[in-house]
Structure 1
Amino acid sequence: MSQPVRLHILITTQPGRGQDQIDAYERLAPLVRAEQGCLQYDLHRVAGDPDRFVLVEQWTSQEALAAHDATPHMLAADAAGPAFRAGPAQVLELSAEPVA
């Protein structure tokens, strides 16, 4: 049986462009949450910094995540991101079990 995949994605926008990230997320979230295998898709702003975010994702399997990455809406979002992001997002895949 496949283990769930947990991701924390660190996003920094260009100065003053945080709202662009929020707007993009609000358009994308309903589509992503409707995908088969999506367990969680939540954007959080870093406290005290309007241009930094953490996207928390959880998927039922690596296969579900791979299918998500290949959807037309994700390909379009990936292409649009450089217009307002300060650089590439940093994707952190968490281990299946907590350390302690």
Structure 2
Amino acid sequence: MTSNEHVLPDDLVPAEVLASTSPIAISSLARLKPGKSDDEMQKAFTAMMSAAREEEGCEQYAIHATLGQPGVYAFYERWSSGADLLRHMQNPSLRTYHGQFFKNLDVEIEWLRPLDA
């Protein structure tokens, strides 16, 4: 998945996720692209976690470095609804981060919904 520095991919989030009125979650694995700076991404991740956790509807936002695989990260987000996720993705103060994310990482995303929803 790729994107320019200021725009998220148009097809990133399935319509059924955005329409959800119940909690949704995102699990992803991201690998640093060759030649990209691991230190820069870790700084961006730290800033992003702090900002995202303050957003309305953010129930959990976590990023983990994998053990034994430098430059590979696991992400987990849980949002109260699709509308909350959309607000997060459209937050103008996070555009630079989102641009860095898709420019510097190869990302595999899984969209999740609770079985009890």
- The TM-score, its normalising length taken from structure 2, stands at 0.71
Taking the aligned partners of 2:68 and 2:89, their CA distance within structure 1 comes to 30
1:7-86 maps to which residues of 2 (within 5 A)?
A: 7-15=26-34, 17-81=37-101, 82=103, 84-85=104-105
Gaps of at least 5 residues in structure 2 are: 1-19
Task: Give me the CA root mean square deviation.
Answer: 2.0
For structure 1, list consecutive stretches of 5 or more residues without a partner in the other structure: none
1:4 matched to 2:27: no
Runs of 4+ with deviation above 6 angstroms: none
Q: Alpha-carbon deviations, 1:41-84, whole Å to 9, x = none?
A: 110112211110011100000110011000013322122231x3
Measure the CA separation in 2 of the matches of 1:2 and 1:78. 24
Count of paired positions: 95
